[in-house]
Amino acid sequence: MTISKIQLQEFMSGVKASLPTMLGYISIGAAFGTIAGSAGFSVWYVFLLSSVFYAGSAQFIVVNMLAANASISSIVLMVLLVNFRMFLQSLTVTQVFPNQSRFSSLLMGGLVTDESFGILSISKMADKKTSVPWMHGLNIASWFIWWLSCTSFAIIGKQITNPADYGLDFALTGMFAGLWLLTSVSMLEHPNEKKTEIVGIVIVTTVLLYLFMYFFSSVVAVLLASVLGSLISIYIVERRKK
C-alpha cells in the first residue's frame, strides 16, 4: 500500500482538526490515570485499558466495578450498554465514507469517538474538506493523546495535585458544549433545514433526556434521548413533506 502526498496532507489536516479535543483528552486522561493508579491498577493495565479498550467513560466504569469486585458479566453488560451509541455513530460515519477497504473500515470503526464524530459532523456541515485519510488523522491523533495521557498520569500517580483545582476536568463539558453549539448552528443555517424544526428537535431531546435521567443512569438516558429524539425528527420532517 502506498500513500500519496495528498493523502498524507489530508491525514495531517485531520491531525490538526483534533486539536480542540486535546485539552479535554489530556485532562480526563490525567483523571483516569490518577484514579486507576491510586485504585491499585498497574501502569501496564492502564495502558491496556486506554489503548486497546479505548472507551473514555466506560474505562472509569470498568475500573470502578473491578475495584468494587463486581461480576465479570455485569461489567461487560454495562460496557455494552454504555458504548452502544457508538454503533449508531459508526452507522452515520459509513454514510459519509462508504466503500472503504477492510483495513480502513476496522481502523475507522475502532477509533471513532464522541468527539471525533462531533468534529466530523461540524466539519462536514461547515463544508470543510473531509476524507478518509483526514478522518484517520483525526482519530489516530485523538487515540494517541488519550492513551499517552492516561498512562503518563498513571506513572505520576498520586503525586499530582487535583486537576479539578484548575477547572481542567471541565474541559470535556466545554468540548461537548462547543460541539453542541456548532452542530446546532450549522443545522440552523443549513438551507435545507427549517429553523423551527431544528429548535424543536433540540428542545424535545433535552426534555426527553431530563425525563429519562430520572429513571435510568445518565449513559442510558443519553442513548434513549438521542435515539428517540432522532426518531421524532423523522416524524417532524416527513410531516413537512406531506
Partner 1 sequence: MSDSKFYTVLFFSVMVTFIPRVIPFFLAKYIKFPSWLTIFLRYLPLTMMTALFFQNIFEVNTQNHLLGINMKAVIAILPGLLIGYFKRSLMLVVILSVLSMAIIRYFT
Q: How far is the CB of 30 from partner 1 (least distance, A)?
A: 13
Q: Which of 186, 3, 202 is nearest to 210 (CA)?
A: 202
The nearer residue to partner 1, 6 or 181, going by C-beta atoms, is 181
The nearer residue to partner 1, 11 or 82, going by C-beta atoms, is 82
The nearer residue to partner 1, 6 or 195, going by C-beta atoms, is 195
Q: Of all helices (H) and strands (E), which one includes residue 136? A: helix 132-156
- 127: three-class secondary structure by DSSP: coil
Q: How far is the CB of 107 from partner 1 (least distance, A)?
A: 9
The nearer residue to partner 1, 6 or 180, going by C-beta atoms, is 180
Residues 76 and 10: their CA atoms lie apart, in Å, by: 37
Q: Which residue has the cell 466495578?
A: 65
Q: How far is the CB of 172 from partner 1 (least distance, A)?
A: 8
The nearer residue to partner 1, 34 or 182, going by C-beta atoms, is 182
| DSSP assignment letter at 168 | G
Q: How far is the CB of 64 from partner 1 (least distance, A)?
A: 12
Q: Which of 172, 174, 177, 201 is nearest to 187 (CA)?
A: 201
Q: How far is the CB of 5 from partner 1 (least distance, A)?
A: 26
Helix axes 85-96, 114-125, angle to 10 degrees: 30
